[in-house]
Structure 1
Amino acid sequence: MTKLSNTLYQSRRAHVMATLPKGSVAVLRTGGLCTRNNDCEYEFRPNSLFFYLTGFPEPDAYLIIDQEGRANLFSLPKDIEKEQWEGFRYGEDAADAFGVNKVQTLSALEGDALAILDGAAEIVFPLEDTVLQDKVMAWRSTLSKRARAGAIAPTILRDLTPIVSEMRLIKSAEEIALMEKAAQISVQAHRAAMQAVKPGMMEYQLEAELNYQFMKSGSRQLAYNNIVASGANACTLHYINNQDQIDDGDLVLIDAGCELGCYASDITRTFPANGRFSEAQAALYQVVLEAYYAGFEKLTVGEAYEACHNAAVETITAGLLTLGLLSGNLQTLIENKAYRAFYMHNTGHWLGLDVHDVGAYKIGSDSRALQAGMVLTLEPGIYVSKDNMDVESKWRGIGIRIEDDIVITDQGPYVLTHGLPKEIADIELLIAGN
């Protein structure tokens, strides 16, 4: 697995503890294997919060950061017989490999947890993790019962998630470099799909081109389920069946990205199966493209996060008005959200260890200001249902989205997914093999 430096994980843990009251203890776990069927498990993917603070990739592990800021990792033991079946385990070697202070097997967890929590000011952990919550409450209960022997049970529980979520929102240079690598693998996969498309193919055959490029380039994980949607399927935002035939005259919408070192990429492109946009397809596509550029201009340090969405909405509404899919006054249509019949999602989201990454979009009631190091997607779209009888038939069944991954910098927005065409002429040239 591609790994960031131990000093980065150590600094993250130190920052967490520095934000907490003196004497606090942080507890988190990575989760376990999930059974697919009978003796088969899904491939393990570590919990994002746990991974952010450790980089440790194995299942069933716990991390306790004690009152002195020491990181205590509890993991599966070295076991030659188990490793014969299930693969390598770090065991005690994890201390050096991941920069933690102490590594013990899971058999030591209960005893050590009680010793570390005894007298702690607070227990800080992800409150949404109900399995961990049950463990923490059991540890507190045990310490309470030992009060006569001098044990002191912590009385305050604090949620770790919002603390780490805000940290995760600002990416380090190491993270951005890794995300750009993931993004560029996905760019090559999209380019390969554009060059492979032919009317008569099945959507899953085009999906295979994506997966081949992902794995060929070193990524064995998808950031999310691939969307390969032809024709009217593109109007279903999270279409993942990918089982229909791609017909001549269809647009194909591909929303797909790989994961590398647990960091996600997320790209969408829409292109004609036969290599040429029809007049109606090109007209709608150009509106989405102009909305992309309008939103892009707002991705600067200090600008409100929602400014990008607002700019895209105004451009899309104006375009739909010009093309006759909407009628009325532009500002009234925007205020009444008439555009939502054709554009029903936001213009982007945070991106990182999760494809829909953590971090607040508002501070209080105000849209938060963009800061250098934030990574987000920019993804305007237009979707005209095939059942929409309020528009001319030539528009029906057209779904279009354009999406890139962008990091906010002091010099302006930087596109991590550079090298993948968006302009109509460039897309047509790429499909033609030029």
Structure 2
Amino acid sequence: MNTHASLLRPDVLPALPQSVYRARRQQLLDQLPEGALMILPAANLATRSRDTEYPFRQSSDFWYLTGYQEPEALLVLCKGRREGEQLLFNQPKDKLMETWTGIRLGQEAAISQLGVDQAFVLSEADQRVPLLLAEASEVWLPLEDEALYHRYLGWRQGVRRLQKRAARLPDRITDLSTLLGELRLIKQPEEIELLREAARISAEAHCRAMRNCRPGMYEYQLQAEIEHEFMLQGGCPPAYGSIVGAGDNACVLHYVDNRDALQDGDLVLIDAGAEFQGYAGDITRIFPVNGRFSLQQKQLYQLVLQANELAISLVRPGTTLDAIHQAVVRCLVEGLVALDLLQGEVQQLIDSETYKTFFMHGTSHWLGLDVHDAGLYRQQGQARALQPGMVFTIEPGLYIAPDQMDVDSLWRGIGIRIEDDVLVTEEGCEVLTQGVPKSVEGIETLMAGGDATD
């Protein structure tokens, strides 16, 4: 029978081959005990206002396991089930609804295109899942999903109503998020290629912003340059809300208003990344609005750049993010003392955390399908050792608040962060974001019309 595959939008089909997603589901099943039942919901549409919705973005866990790009679905894995271990409940084909909101995959095509064993209409879940639950040894759910947990309780009650005293329900429920996060943490070769492309597109967009920056522009105009490049390079949305902060606004870590004018003599910080087929780029660069760093801007910038390059040089299997962060802190504190922005003995300033006035955030976070990706940072109470295939950011920064009255006014209102994305390799690391310059010379050359090289 015709599965209508030719009528499917390209973004409905998995970006990667179905074999990749089926292998991921099998890898998850292999780690579940016999008889376990796993239930994972897709994302739902979110109302923006009245009868309009935000653009749909699939749950990252659901995306990781299925590649499926429609809302309102359930993935159910049943370890050891003879009729098939991998089940999908999704929306039915509906000509009227598809006229309004686009082609749906439906059940028949879900089996052929997604590689699940069985697919059912979503409305059947309340009848079928309790039957699966009655045969399960234990249940795995993302426990932070309150709606799903309450639905699960309803399914349990349904089993009791149907089977009464004969009901045999699992008495163990386990959070799925940790196990799935650990699977997502080590990137496979096909994921690394997508992350490289997300980083490449992000880097080109940052270069475009540098080339086009002029005094008198507005922050939102630089945001438009960045996000226009994302779309030109493959219809990529931002992986997160783009931050474009000029002058004092660069000292606000998650500034997103992006509405002020760019003043001659100020720096402008851009923290923005493209999402390519679900995978995030995450780059921060800061550069002078007029194309030339002042003395104080350059001194502070060089210090942050030194910390950034030191951190990257330390990335290799076996080290930890904690160790890298501590090295960054020491580098920044020594530099701040040399610039007389901090006074005292370096170790004492580190121990007392006095430096947090100027550097108050961490150096790194995991990167993948989420910009702050899944995966544990500590194991058995200890910082985990880095392994090949891990991808994370390196992003030291210094922020001299405009109301920091105990420092010379020449420093006030300067906020600097330099962020790169790195992949741990067998020998060390690969910097995925090297396509955008970060040296003073490289930035000034690019802004003067030269090549985008360091």
Question: What's the TM-score, normalizing by structure 1?
Answer: 0.98
Q: 1:8 aligns with which of 20, 23, 38?
A: 20
SS in 2 for 1:100: coil
> Which deviations, in whole Å up to 9, do the C-alpha atoms of 1:318-337 show, x marking residues without a partner?
00000010011111111111
Alignment partners' CA distance in 2, 1:205 and 1:147 = 63
Alignment partners' CA distance in 2, 1:36 and 1:329 = 52
Aligned-residue RMSD, C-alpha: 1.2
State whether structure 2 residue 439 is matched by structure 1 residue 423: yes
Question: Contact between 2:251 and 2:401, CA under 8 Å: does it hold in 1?
Answer: yes
Q: Paired residue for 1:381?
A: 397
SS in 2 for 1:394: coil
Deviation at 1:149, TM superposition (A): 7.3
Alignment partners' CA distance in 1, 2:276 and 2:92 = 26
Question: Which letter does structure 1 place at the counterpart of 2:33?
Answer: P
State whether structure 2 residue 28 is matched by structure 1 residue 19: no
Q: 1:370 aligns with which of 386, 389, 393?
A: 386
Q: Paired residue for 2:8?
A: none
Question: Contact between 1:295 and 1:307, CA under 8 Å: does it hold in 2?
Answer: no
Q: Paired residue for 1:144?
A: 160
Structure 2 residues not aligned, in runs of 5+: 1-10
Deviation at 1:26, TM superposition (A): 0.5
Deviation at 1:145, TM superposition (A): 2.9
State whether structure 2 residue 93 is matched by structure 1 residue 78: yes
Deviation at 1:116, TM superposition (A): 1.6
SS in 1 for 2:314: coil
State whether structure 2 residue 354 is matched by structure 1 residue 354: no
Q: 1:119 aligns with which of 126, 135, 140?
A: 135
Deviation at 1:293, TM superposition (A): 1.2
State whether structure 2 residue 274 is matched by structure 1 residue 262: no
Q: Paired residue for 1:63?
A: 75
Alignment partners' CA distance in 2, 1:364 and 1:339 = 29
Deviation at 1:429, TM superposition (A): 0.2
Deviation at 1:150, TM superposition (A): 4.1
Q: 2:257 aligns with which of 222, 226, 241?
A: 241
> Which deviations, in whole Å up to 9, do the C-alpha atoms of 1:276-329 show, x marking residues without a partner?
000000000000000011111221000122111111111100000000100111
SS in 2 for 1:410: coil
Between 33-42 and 316-325, report the one with greater CA deviation: 33-42
Question: Which letter does structure 2 place at the counterpart of 1:283?
Answer: Q
Alignment partners' CA distance in 2, 1:179 and 1:119 = 40
Between 286-295 and 60-69, report the one with greater CA deviation: 60-69
Question: Contact between 1:4 and 1:175, CA under 8 Å: does it hold in 2?
Answer: no
SS in 2 for 1:395: coil
Q: Paired residue for 2:104?
A: 89
Q: Paired residue for 2:6?
A: none
Alignment partners' CA distance in 2, 1:298 and 1:22 = 42
Between 140-149 and 348-357, report the one with greater CA deviation: 140-149
1:256-295 → structure 2 map (5 Å cutoff): 256-295=272-311
Structure 1 residues not aligned, in runs of 5+: none
> Which deviations, in whole Å up to 9, do the C-alpha atoms of 1:195-235 show, x marking residues without a partner?
00000101101110011100011133211100000001000
SS in 2 for 1:317: helix
State whether structure 2 residue 64 is matched by structure 1 residue 52: yes
Between 275-284 and 289-298, report the one with greater CA deviation: 289-298
Deviation at 1:361, TM superposition (A): 0.8
Question: Contact between 1:219 and 1:259, CA under 8 Å: does it hold in 2?
Answer: no
Alignment partners' CA distance in 1, 2:68 and 2:43 = 12
Question: Contact between 1:179 and 1:260, CA under 8 Å: does it hold in 2?
Answer: yes
Question: Which letter does structure 2 place at the counterpart of 1:59?
Answer: P
Instruction: Decide whether aligned partners of structure 1 residues 330 and 149 sit closer, same or farther in structure 2, where only a CA change above 3 A counts.
Output: closer
Deviation at 1:104, TM superposition (A): 1.3
Question: Which letter does structure 1 place at the counterpart of 2:64?
Answer: Y
Question: Which letter does structure 2 place at the counterpart of 1:248?
Answer: D
Question: Contact between 1:370 and 1:408, CA under 8 Å: does it hold in 2?
Answer: yes
Question: Which letter does structure 2 place at the counterpart of 1:214?
Answer: F
> Which deviations, in whole Å up to 9, do the C-alpha atoms of 1:344-363 show, x marking residues without a partner?
00011001111111111111
SS in 1 for 2:38: strand
Deviation at 1:148, TM superposition (A): 4.3
Question: Which letter does structure 2 place at the counterpart of 1:87?
Answer: G
State whether structure 2 residue 430 is matched by structure 1 residue 414: yes
Question: Which letter does structure 2 place at the counterpart of 1:428?
Answer: E
State whether structure 2 residue 211 is matched by structure 1 residue 199: no
Q: Paired residue for 2:4?
A: none
Deviation at 1:144, TM superposition (A): 2.3
Alignment partners' CA distance in 1, 2:331 and 2:61 = 37
Alignment partners' CA distance in 1, 2:17 and 2:141 = 24
Alignment partners' CA distance in 1, 2:79 and 2:363 = 42
Alignment partners' CA distance in 1, 2:134 and 2:175 = 19
Q: Paired residue for 1:29?
A: 41
Question: Which letter does structure 2 place at the counterpart of 1:36?
Answer: R
> Which deviations, in whole Å up to 9, do the C-alpha atoms of 1:358-399 show, x marking residues without a partner?
111111221110000000000000100011111111110000
SS in 2 for 1:376: strand
Question: Which letter does structure 2 place at the counterpart of 1:82?
Answer: M
Question: Which letter does structure 1 place at the counterpart of 2:100?
Answer: W
Question: Contact between 2:33 and 2:79, CA under 8 Å: does it hold in 1?
Answer: no
Alignment partners' CA distance in 1, 2:165 and 2:128 = 17
